[in-house]
Amino acid sequence: MAMAKFVEIKRHIVAKIESGCWREDHKLPSENQLAKAFSCSRMTARRALTELTEIGVLRRSQGLGTFVASHKSQSSMLVIRDISHEIQARGHGYSVVLLALTQRSIDEANAINLGVNEGCRVFYSKLLHVEQGVPLQIEERYVDPHRVPHYLEQDFNQLTPHAYLSQVAPLTQAEHTIEAILADNRQCALLQIAANEPCLQISRRTWSSQGVVSFARLIHPGSRFKLDGKLFLNNEPN
């Protein structure tokens, strides 16, 4: 079966970027130029550019054109996405290292975030998410066993905690806290970064219809990750 033209264009662009031929801020050919080069419609070329823009590979500037985006991995702070899907959507390889999957007593600070009593036995997981062989995120997660009783039975090499929780306890609400932190020695070793490199930490609580399901801390190297978001406001007078 012949490859769809928009897929062919996307693969061509990604190959140019990954080879170093097109570097950050490089201006891409226009939609008309791509349409002519690949013998397709302008709409097809636009679809390829739009899809790569949506996942952060490209950025578009009104009136100026389309450019190669920052090489840092990018995520939205207004949408919760599965990290494995984000990485794969960039055309990169995803892998994960399971560091812990157990039941433990919860301390006061994490108990407050999960909405349980201090000292309660909860489920705990710790994973290292990897993009193209390079560590991208440490994920530590506390899960209420009453909401998700089979959490410890899952194979998180096959399905991320986020994906599993979305299936068994569909998300109804989420809360983010984002802050810059200094990585400790253990975190530096896991992320393969220099001692005390600044990191971006996202603390996230998620709810289902039954209440708080999980509390997670997601730690990313500051040099490899950024958050973006778009907020559309109603400009009509109140």
Q: What is the DSSP string of 60-94?
A: EETTTEEEE--SSEEEESSS---HHHHHHHTT--E
Q: Residue 89: its pLDDT value, please? A: 80
* Helix, strand, coil percent content, the chain, rounded in steps of 5: 30, 35, 40
**Same domain? 48 vs 122:** no
Domain count, the chain: 2
Domain end point (choices 19, 38, 68):
68
pLDDT in tens, 7-47: 899 889 988 887 889 988 899 999 999 999 999 999 999 99
Q: Is the pLDDT of residue 112 over 50?
A: yes
- The pTM of this model reads 0.66
Among 121, 118, 111, residue whose Cα is nearest residue 212:
111
Q: Residue 155 sits in which domain range?
A: 73-227
At 78, the pLDDT band (50, 70, 90 cuts) reads: very low
Comparing C-alpha atoms, which of 4, 7, 13 is closest to residue 57? 13
Same domain, yes or no: 79 and 9: no
Q: Do 99 and 211 fall into the same domain? A: yes
- State both tokens at 232: 């559309």
| Placement of tokens 């190959």 in the chain | 15
Q: Are residues 63 and 153 in the same domain?
A: no
Give the pLDDT mean for 151-176.
91
Residues 141 and 210 in one domain: yes
pLDDT band with cut points at 50, 70 and 90 for residue 236 = very low
Domain end: 68, 98, 120, which one?
Answer: 68
8 A C-beta contact, residue 131 and residue 84? no
Residue that is last in its domain, among 68, 83, 101 = 68
Q: For residue 55, tell me if it sits in a domain.
A: yes
* 3-state SS assignment for residue 186: helix
Residues 160-175: b if buried by 16+ CB within 10 A, e if exposed: bbbebbbeebeeeeee
Helix (H, G, I), strand (E, B) or coil at 197: coil
